Structure 1
Amino acid sequence: MSISFDKALGIHQYSVGVRGKRAEILASNIANANTPGYKAKDMDFGRALKAATSGANIGLSQTNGRHISASANIMGEQMYRVPTQPDTGDGNTVDAQLEQNLFMQNSLEYQASLDFLGAKFKNLSKALRGD
């Protein structure tokens, strides 16, 4: 009997990657909070997760027959966030408090997915050992 990791690990194996990408975007927003003209970005988590679970890939071209074929997962497109505060005159749309709150929420959900994955691997190890 074979083990299907997709069934055993569930959606958390995909959500970790998507949440990691979103953390990068939110961290970039926080880092550019004082950059004139910077527009706050985010991603549609649901759409990105759906793309990751469907296995949608972008094929990378091989310029030489000896190159290893590769593909990259689509992690969702970045979108500009609608500003929640009036323009301060410099064109920056980052609300630092909102970004910090979103980053913290994303971090908690990322950690929860890691905890779920850890528990799944622990249970798989027990099953393989026969505990």
Structure 2
Amino acid sequence: MGIKVSRAHDLMQSALDYRAARQDMIAGNIANADTPFYRPRDIRFEEVLAQKSASVFADKSQTLTMSRTDGSHLEGADTASTSKPTTFFRDGHMARNDGNSVDLDVETTEMAKNSTMFNALTAALKKDSMLFKSVIDASSKTS
């Protein structure tokens, strides 16, 4: 187990992983712009991050646990940890004569938005890590 920089660090790393997966998916859509009958794909992960955020920042003393009245009863499932991002077809555009519905304007716009979010998350992670490093550096100077 590594050093935990902050409670938000793991959440930001998960968001980076999802953003990287989305970037790959959008790049695949652009690469298949001329493939007959290709339908563009996308990934939805905001709900998963919201659940993870709620679990990271939740007040653990306010958590309601499930009661078991008999030892043979099954324990409740942790639904927050089993949720996964959802992939879906982005079919809001007219298909061309070859059945392909990739719209390069939409794909490049989505890629730009995703890249901006990825860069913002990277900057936030760097800032989070630098704060931790500065605390360690300051504590080593006082010894």
Judge same fold: TM > 0.5, yes or no. yes
1:120 aligns with 2:142: no
TM-score between the two structures when normalised by the length of structure 2: 0.68
2:37 alignment partner AA:
G
Matching residue's letter, 1:98? V
Give yes or no for the alignment of 1:56 onto 2:81.
Answer: yes
Partner of 1:26: 26
Q: Supply the RMSD in Å over aligned alpha carbons.
A: 2.3
- Equivalent pairs: percent with the same residue? 26
Instruction: Give the alignment partner of residue 98 of structure 1, picking from 70, 85, 106.
Output: 106
Matches within 5 A, 1:68-83: 75-83=84-92
Greater C-alpha radius of gyration: 2
Normalized per residue, the structure richer in helix is 2
Point out where structure 2 has 5 or more consecutive residues left out of the alignment: 56-79
Q: Paired residues, what number?
A: 112
User: Which runs of structure 1 show a deviation greater than 6 angstroms over 4 or more consecutive aligned residues?
Assistant: none
TM-score by length of 1: 0.73
Residue 14 of structure 1 is matched in structure 2 by 14
Work out the CA distance in 2 between the residues paired with 1:51 and 1:20: 20
Q: Quote how far apart the aligned CAs of 1:47 are.
A: 2.7
2:45·2:86 contact (CA, 8 Å) conserved in 1?
Answer: no
* Kept in 1: contact 2:33–2:100 (CA 8 A): yes
How far is the alpha carbon of 1:9 from its aligned partner? Answer: 2.2
Q: What is the aligned partner in structure 2 of residue 67 from structure 1?
A: none
Residues 18 and 48 in structure 1, CA contact (< 8 A), matched pair in contact too: no
Check whether the contact 1:48–1:77 (CA below 8 A) recurs between aligned residues: no
